Amino acid sequence: MSRKPQNASDDLDVVVSVSHTSDETYLAMVWQEFFLSRGRGLTLGAHFPWISGTDPSGVFVTLARGGKVVGGLALIDRSSAMSKEAGRVAAIGLVVVRPDMRGRGYSGLLLKRAIDLAKESNYVGLTLWTSKHAVYSPYGFELADEAVFGTVRNASPAAEETSILVRCRHEDDDRSIYPGIPPFARDMARIRHRTCALVVLSDGKDDMLAETEGPLSEVADALTSLMPRHWMLNSTRGSPLLGELESRGLQLDMQASHLQMWMSLVPGVAASDLAAKGHFSVLDRI
């Protein structure tokens, strides 16, 4: 068992710092933990284009012990995913502590610094995506997730049985709008169809709808005619798209994602209030 001081700041040689530039040792830990050890990943920049420090809203909190970086996290503005009146929010992600330094409360020191920083920067809330809720709940994060995820089956698809990315990408993909792709994905295309647009991801096995733009009936037409027999859908609970697809005979099997946590930084505002004002897609996650 590793040592765990009652208060991790008792470790006198521990320094927590904040920078707009990402530390090389931290980046190597991120690559090892979230990609290499899970047998996935293109390059860090392909998944998180802001990670090199080019996005001014991106901040890295790192923890050094004895002068060596042993942990860190990233914080990035995600206000664009909120309703206009909701105020500014930031997302936390890529929280990692070097394996031999775990269990000492270091992730807590990183999170506390990130929370203080968000308060100083007048954010109204912080959000993150995790299946490890116990790591974050002691600091005030609550599960408040509006996302649903599941499979769509089309018994008689109009499209041939190949990936929509293979069929559409060369003529339609717009690489100028590149938000980065989630760690599990290998490929992304923005596909235009009549007056709507779709963002589709692939993990090498399945096509996965990430975002849509345009009139609902046009989007449903595009999905019914372009997607293969079986595909994955990321959406929001109660989204009209779900009913629209079902009314066209597609079979949906959706489940709550249970990944997004929220922390309100404003007294009187609940985490669920912030969640209800968010319109996050899978591309906003870090």
Residues forming the site for ligand COA (CB under 6 A): 33, 95-97, 102-108, 130, 132, 134-135
**Between 47 and 104, whose beta carbon lies closer to ligand COA?**
104
Give min distance, CB of 93 to ligand COA, in A: 7
- Report the C-alpha gap between 272 and 262 in whole angstroms: 8
Give min distance, CB of 14 to ligand COA, in A: 11
- Report the C-alpha gap between 180 and 176 in whole angstroms: 11
**Between 130 and 224, whose beta carbon lies closer to ligand COA?**
130
Give min distance, CB of 114 to ligand COA, in A: 12
Give min distance, CB of 108 to ligand COA, in A: 4
- Report the C-alpha gap between 226 and 139 in whole angstroms: 44
The two tokens of residue 112 are 């506390």
**How far does Cα 1 stand from its chain's mean position?**
32
**Between 135 and 216, whose beta carbon lies closer to ligand COA?**
135
**Strand 260-264 relative to strand 187-193, pairing:** unpaired
Give min distance, CB of 91 to ligand COA, in A: 12
**Between 137 and 217, whose beta carbon lies closer to ligand COA?**
137
**Between 103 and 249, whose beta carbon lies closer to ligand COA?**
103
Residue where the block lists tokens 């027999």: 229
Tell me the backbone φ, ψ of residue 254, rounded to 5 degrees: -110, 145
Side-by-side strand order, sheet with 89-97: 14-19, 59-65, 68-77, 89-97, 125-129, 260-264, 142-143
